[in-house]
A and B are shown apart, each in its own frame.
Chain A
Amino acid sequence: MTRTRGKTTATEEIWRLLQSVPDPEIPIISIVDLGIVRDVFDEGHPVVAITPTYSGCPATEMIEQSVREVLDEAGHPDAEIRTVISPAWTTDWISDDGRRKLREYGIAPPAASAARGRGLFGGVGLAIACPRCGSTATSRVSEFGSTPCKAHYQCGACAEPFDYFKCL
């Protein structure tokens, strides 16, 4: 069995296909930009390693399904999906391109590295910039927004209510 890690021609095609698979809850960003696709291997058939964001993320199974469909349509019915949980997913893995897309979509991307705000009463005091006007005069309305990975904020300058992608 040949196990080729990294971007050979065969795996490059798979990476390109996966780049077109949107996150089901934030369709503006692909699962590659979100850091959910951890690796692609060529083991005679394509193997895609994916990791869940939160343990309880209801989108995990849907993502698996979407990956399967896209690869199947592209002529890879034998593709294998492997779920890995280590190292645990972190918002630090969201690509720069992904962050830009989130902002354009109206979601403030994670403000700091996930290692911050680990204390008992930590995670407060981070300046979250409004994705509409850029002001940091924003306030948290609720720690939990439209999905488990987002908090709900409001901008004090332009009054825009917006989602903030929390650091994990």
Chain B
Amino acid sequence: MTGSIDVRAAEPRLEYVLRLADNALVLGQRLGEWCGKGPALEEEMALVNFALDLVGQARMLLSYAAELEGAGHSEDDLAFLRDGMDFRNLLLVELPNRDFAFTIVRQCLFDLYQCGLYEELQRSGDSRLAEIAAKASKESRYHLQHSAGWFVRLGDGTAESHQRVQAALDRIWRYTGELFETDDVETALVAEGIAADPAVLRSEWDNQLDRILREATITRPADDGMASGGRHGRHTEHLGYMLAEMQFLQRAYPGASW
């Protein structure tokens, strides 16, 4: 297998599964970058453990996507041989890690989203998705307890940790609108009882986040100038650099295995 795989213009269910898979894969890869660089050994292990869970979830989802695609591709093919514009992940997850505060704020916003999403998807009319959601949901709850705990501790901590969390949230906020966007793909799947309804997810996410913000003494930024495009393959420049590293081996030595 050489060259890139193109799965643009996929049918709705495949499109949806790829979106879920790519969120997990891209954030898993990002968090893995903390390996060897964590602020403390325990936190490094926590972040890299989250990365492992996310990559595990991505594998289940990509395997399912490969079956839906029916083109003889494997989960590895979909992870390593698609180009940036074929990735459907949210912009939020591809942003560089920056400092620990930024990583924790992003993680907390994402975990909150994943918890709501996977809770809903356990009732999906697609039994494979429901099974994966039931498995991933337990892990997301675990992640959220950790990231929300740190969000509060840092926000309600020293002047510097508070300032860093607020700065991170202000910087990241414009990437949160995309979490709840809806398009023809999702509208159709929500009507079929397969996808989670973004409007339902949004209200629960808002409620829980407000609770965390209060505890953390952090101010919610204004909802203007939201960024968008990741789910349709329009990414920040950061994704390309990440994929260049993540895909290097399979691109340079196609089919290499160990």
Contact = CB atoms under 8 A, between A and B. Distances in A.
The judgment on whether A and B are partners is yes
Interface of A: 52, 54-58, 85-90, 114, 117-118, 120-123, 141-145, 148, 152, 166, 168
Contacts, number: 79
B131 interface: yes
A105 to B, nearest CB: 21
B212 A56 contact: no
A54 B145 contact: no
B42 A54 contact: no
Interface in B45-63: 45-46, 49, 51-57, 59-60
Interface of B: 28, 41-42, 45-46, 49, 51-57, 59-60, 130-132, 134-139, 141-142, 144-146, 148-149, 152, 208, 211-212
B253 to A, nearest CB: 21
B137 to A, nearest CB: 8
The A interface is mostly helix, strand or loop, or mixed, namely: loop
Contacts of A122: 145
A143 B40 CA distance: 13
B134 A88 contact: yes
A86 B149 contact: no
Contact of B53 (A118, A148, A166): A148
Given A55-B56, A120-B208, A144 B49 contact: yes
A23 to B, nearest CB: 17
B208 A86 contact: no
A89 B138 CA distance: 10
A81 to B, nearest CB: 16
